[in-house]
């Protein structure tokens, strides 16, 4: 039987790569929807004919996919906690 405290744990939801992926993913979805559905011809004229919201949103979604893949392929392993000393409250014996 394996001791639960000796088994390595993963950072999981506290991995900074997943937090960054969540933020870029939300912005990517918003920009992609705005670029695909709510871009007028006047907006395209201002951006030299490039649907910048659509392209930026797609780029952010690609970056999101890279961050999620990175977090899945190489998870952060939390080191086991140091074992506490047996009697911390008692001061060490004087040396004679």
Q: Are 76 and 10 in contact (CB under 8 A)?
A: yes
Looking at residue 13, its pLDDT comes to: 75
Strand partners, 10: 77
Place of tokens 């201002």: 46
Task: Quote the tokens at residue 91.
Answer: 């001061």
Average pLDDT of the chain, as a whole number = 86
pLDDT in tens, 18-65: 999 999 999 999 999 999 999 999 999 999 999 999 999 999 999 999
84 to 6, 66, 75, 87, 88: CA distances (angstroms)? 14, 39, 27, 9, 8
What is the signed CA dihedral for 36, 40, 43, 45, rounded to 10 degrees?
110
Domain boundaries, the chain: 11-75
d(CA 10, CA 73) in angstroms, rounded, equals: 12
């Amino acid at each position: 039987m394996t001791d639960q405290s000796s088994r390595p744990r993963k950072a999981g939801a506290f991995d900074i790569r997943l937090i960054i992926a969540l933020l870029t993913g939300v912005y990517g979805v918003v920009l992609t929807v705005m670029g695909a559905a709510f871009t007028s011809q006047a907006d395209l004229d201002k951006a030299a004919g490039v649907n910048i919201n659509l392209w930026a949103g797609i780029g952010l979604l690609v970056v999101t996919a890279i961050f999620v893949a990175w977090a899945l392929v190489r998870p952060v392993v939390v080191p086991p906690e140091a074992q506490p000393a047996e009697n911390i409250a008692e001061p060490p014996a004087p040396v004679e």
